Amino acid sequence: RRRCLAIARAGVDPPRAVAAPPATAAAELRLRNWAIDSWRQYDALQQPVYPDAEEHRRAVEEIKRMPPLVFAGECRTLQAKLAQAAAGEAFVLQGGDCAEAFADLNANRIRDTYRVLLQMSVVLTFGGGMPVVKMGRMAGQFAKPRSAPTETIDGVELPSYRGDIINGAAFDAKSRVPDPWRLLKAYNHCASTLNLLRGFSSGGYAALHRVTEWSLDFMRATENGHAYIDLAERVKEAITFMVACGLDLNTPLMKETDFFTCHEALLLDYEEALTREDSTTSLAYDTSSHFLWCGERTRNLDGAHVEFLRGVANPIGVKVSNKAEPSELVSLIATLNPLNTPGRIAVVTRMGADKLKKHLPAFISAVKNSGQVVTWICDPMHGNTESVNGFKTRRFENIQKEVETFFDVHETMGSTPGGIHLEMTGDNVTECMGGGAQISEDDLNSRYHTHCDPRLNAEQALELAFYAASRLRS
Ligand code: PEP
Ligand code: MN
């Protein structure tokens, strides 16, 4: 009955959804045919070729001996929250670097991205009146899918940089050779990042009464920084009032927050090595991260990534552009979520505002007609990348436009806008143009630090949160 209700709230016709779920027996049969390494029988795109297979095997064996990074129970908590978002009772905020880099691992950077996510979450909760499910593209976002296997600069052709977990970004032949020991280094970076994130979330830093202290110094002078301080002061006033009424600031609700991690499940050796059987449910969980997604370039139905992900019990995402057919999306969801469990699948659309307006309605109709429950998330970054003065960049106005279109289309279709997925950082970078700070073409080279795609800086990210909050409220 609860499932019926969730389906009804997600805008799906309940009798149909219940009458025609994907065949359970067939689903179970398929799952029985799944094994932690069954993906090896399928075509695995975007995987590196290591020069020394024996050394690679030894590195993977070491990861298999390492403790899990996240726990199955946490993944189940997240899945329940994503089910709420599918039903319009929560909103998902996913954000962080396009690609994390080994050289960038330091406490201040992690804190700064974390606190912008906290700020955005307060804006969405207070301004939008909605609980926020926070997920960092952090502690694992190290592998990058590439459009081309090689890169040519000044007539020199080298293998593409595939993320720090695989090879080095420097443009020289040695750096670009895949090094299996990077797998272990990535694991260790994830462990220390996650340790700090857990500390921030439960050690008092994220306590709600500190809401006015999360502001970043360089933000105080900005328009959106001001807007945040105003809102934070109102939140603080409300808390003071509630404390006077008897609210205990020492309850976990006030003192702690839930923060989850996510990354693209791209490098399958690594994901397999961290997949473990949960002692409570006997299901396989990929313990590298709470949430994993299948990228636009690796979501083919007969590919290794889909095979791997269909068998792990974590909540998962699928990125889709206009290149997918609605029927293909429906098959993909049925394969990944044969029991139609709410919260299990997030569909992350990424195609640019104009294409979203044109294609999203057909995706929504197809999913609705098949009775599938999904959490719809908008990635307004990957369909809006362009090249200006030799820099890969994105315009804030296009990013906001895609979020606007996402809300508009869901409103028209009677479906639920469940969240946003952003590439962003707490640093004061100049990688995306526009926004309140009016970053211009000429500003791009001033603080362009990304290792892959351009990110929103703290002010731009906050501005977008204010916009999304205004749409949630209306
Ligand atoms: C990404 O999220 O960094 C990414 C590569 O996305 P997509 O698979 O949507 O291109
Ligand atoms: Mn990216």
pTM of the shown model: 0.93
Q: How far is the CA of 96 from the centre of ligand 2 (A)?
A: 10
- 168-179: per-residue pLDDT in tens? 999 999 999 999
Question: What is the average per-residue pLDDT within 359-370?
Answer: 98
ipTM: 0.99
- How would residue 217 be classed by pLDDT, with cut points 50, 70 and 90? confident
Instruction: Please work out whether the CB of residue 421 comes within 6 Å of at least one atom of ligand 1.
Output: no
Ligand 1, atom 6, residue with closest C-alpha: 295
Cβ 295 under 6 angstroms from ligand 1: yes
- Write down the pLDDT at residue 4: 34
Which amino acid is residue 345, in one-letter code? Answer: I
Atom of ligand 1 nearest to the CA of 297: 8
In ligand 1, the atom with minimum distance to the C-alpha of 141 is 3
* Residue 388: φ, ψ to 5°: -130, 130
Q: Which has the closest alpha carbon to 375: 410, 325, 427?
A: 410
Q: What is the mean pLDDT of residues 267-281?
A: 96
Tokens representing residue 26 in the block: 């067939």
| C-alpha to C-alpha distance for 387 and 392, rounded to whole angstroms | 5
Q: Work out the average pLDDT over 228-236.
A: 93
Report residues near ion ligand 2: CB below 5 Å.
98, 453
431 Cβ inside 6 Å of ligand 1: no
Report how far ligand 2's centroid is from the alpha carbon of 223 (Å): 27
Strands 150-153 and 156-159: antiparallel
Q: 245 vs 240, 250, 377, CA distance in Å?
A: 9, 15, 37
pLDDT at 1: 30
Q: Is the CB of 162 under 6 A from ligand 1?
A: no
Task: Name the nearest CA neighbour of 301 among 25, 43, 47, 22.
Answer: 43
**Alpha helix ranges (H) inside 256-316:** 268-273, 304-311
Confidence bin at 437 (pLDDT 50/70/90) = confident
Question: Is residue 383 in contact with ligand 1, taking CB distance under 6 Å?
Answer: no
In this model, does residue 3 exceed pLDDT 90? no
pLDDT band at 373 (very low <50, low <70, confident <90, very high): very high
pLDDT at 15 (0 to 100): 32
Position 30 confidence tier, pLDDT thresholds 50, 70, 90: low
Does 182 appear as a known binding residue? no
- pLDDT tens figures, 440-462: 999 999 999 998 999 999 999 99
| Residues 212/230, Cβ–Cβ less than 8 Å | no
- pLDDT at position 31 is 65
pLDDT at 12: 35
Ligand 1 lined by 145 (C-beta under 6 Å): yes
What pLDDT is recorded for position 17?
Answer: 37
With beta carbons less than 8 A apart as the criterion, state whether 44 and 143 touch.
no
Residue 356, SS3?
helix
